[in-house]
């Protein structure tokens, strides 16, 4: 199953449970899989047009009034384009905004170099108090979403839109937002990946 479909379904469930959760996108609801949320939550799912800086500023304002905004865009626009708004209005102000960057790295190859981002994690890791998370598969994303909502810090979620290999298929698997997961044991080498 596509990661964007799981993201949208999980966000919809969370929005039904928590009236403070809202969604803001920059004219990419179809690409991020969240178009249905505009119909289900017309007063809490907004499109600001292709204006990512405005999207981040609106999210910071909503958070200041107790809302938990999720904002979505492709990774270069969810990182480079809104960096100043994230650093000043969101992180410095300790606003509870959840930034979702989709199609990281070369995943957006059909859109060309302007839609590719390799530095998004570096940007967000350099911002104090920012939580950075990249789900490896849909199972991890499903378990992470409620924890991300409960986390009262600004978060950056870097995720693929399409299908990814399923790694955490064991029903006993328990995700922890602040703990690394070991995929397998080895003895000669340790590899850390996002």
* Range with the poorest average pLDDT among 110-114, 143-147, 168-172: 110-114
Q: Report helix, strand or coil for 90.
A: helix
Whether the Cβ atoms of residue 162 and residue 118 lie closer than 8 Å to each other: no
pLDDT (0 to 100) of residue 190: 82
CA pair distance 51, 71, nearest whole angstrom: 12
The pLDDT of residue 60 is above 80 = yes
3-state helix, strand, coil in the chain (%, to 5): 40, 15, 45
The confidence band for 61, taking pLDDT boundaries of 50, 70 and 90, is very high
pLDDT band for position 168 (cuts 50, 70, 90): very high
Model confidence pTM above 0.85 = yes
Q: Could you name the CATH architecture of 3-159?
A: 3-Layer(aba) Sandwich (3.40)
Rounded Cα distance, 178 and 182, in Å: 13
N-terminal to C-terminal alpha carbon distance within the chain = 20
Q: What is the rounded distance in angstroms from the CA atom of residue 6 to the CA atom of residue 36? A: 13
| pLDDT mean over 179-191 | 86
| Predicted local distance difference test score (pLDDT) of residue 64 | 98
Which is more confidently placed, 161 or 57? 57
**Strand, helix or coil for residue 4:** helix
| Token pair in block for residue 7 | 């993201």
* Rounded Cα–Cα distance for residues 97 and 95 (Å): 6
Q: Supply 10's token pair.
A: 């999980």
d(CA 49, CA 135): 27
Determine the longest span between alpha carbons in the chain, in angstroms: 54
Q: pLDDT tens across 138-162, in order?
A: 999 999 999 999 999 999 999 999 9
The pLDDT of residue 170 is above 80:
yes
DSSP state of 114: G
If you ran DSSP here, which 8-state letter would residue 87 be given? I
pLDDT confidence band for 115 (50 / 70 / 90): confident
DSSP class of residue 89?
Answer: I
Residue 73 pLDDT = 96
Q: How confident is the model over 29-54, as pLDDT tens digits?
A: 999 999 999 999 999 999 999 999 99
pLDDT at 112: 80
CB 29 within 8 A of CB 38: yes
């Amino acid at each position: 199953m596509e990661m964007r479909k799981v993201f949208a379904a999980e966000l919809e469930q969370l929005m039904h449970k928590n009236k403070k959760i809202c969604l803001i996108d920059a004219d990419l609801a179809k690409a991020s899989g969240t178009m249905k949320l505009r119909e289900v939550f017309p007063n809490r799912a907004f499109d600001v047009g292709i204006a990512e800086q405005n999207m981040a500023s609106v999210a910071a304002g909503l958070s200041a009034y107790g809302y938990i905004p999720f904002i979505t865009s492709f990774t270069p626009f969810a990182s480079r384009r809104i960096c100043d708004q994230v650093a000043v209005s969101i992180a410095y102000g300790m606003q509870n905004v959840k930034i979702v960057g989709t199609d990281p790295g070369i995943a957006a190859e059909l859109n060309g170099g302007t839609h590719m981002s390799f530095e998004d994690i570096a940007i967000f890791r350099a911002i104090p108090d920012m939580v950075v998370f990249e789900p490896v598969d849909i199972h991890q994303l499903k378990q992470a979403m409620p924890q991300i909502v409960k986390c009262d810090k600004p978060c950056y979620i870097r995720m693929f839109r399409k299908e990814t290999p399923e790694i955490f298929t064991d029903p006993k698997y328990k995700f922890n937002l602040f703990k690394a997961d070991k995929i397998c044991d080895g003895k000669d080498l340790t590899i850390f990946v996002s």
